[in-house]
Amino acid sequence: MDFDLSPKMLAILFIIAGVVLVFILLGGSLQQLFSPSIQELVVVKIKQNGTCVVEASDGIPRSVENCPYSQGQNFTIYYKQGLPNIESYK
Closest-CA residue to 63 (of 81, 24, 89): 89
* pLDDT per position as a tens digit, 23-74: 777 665 556 666 788 899 999 999 999 999 999 998 889 999 999 999 999 9
- In this structure, the chain runs to a length of 90
What is d(CA 41, CA 85) in angstroms, rounded to the nearest whole number?
Answer: 15
| Residue 43's CATH number | 2.40.50
Closest-CA residue to 60 (of 37, 36, 74, 42): 42
For the entire predicted model, the pTM comes to 0.61
Residues 51 and 81 in one domain: yes
Please report the pLDDT score of residue 58 as a whole number.
Answer: 87
Query: Are the C-beta atoms of 53 and 63 separated by less than 8 Å?
Result: yes
Residues 46 and 69 in one domain: yes
What is d(CA 7, CA 12) in angstroms, rounded to the nearest whole number?
Answer: 9
Residues 17 and 53 in one domain: no
Domain extent at residue 7: 1-34
Number of domains in the chain: 2
What is d(CA 26, CA 35) in angstroms, rounded to the nearest whole number?
Answer: 17
Residues 61 and 75 in one domain: yes
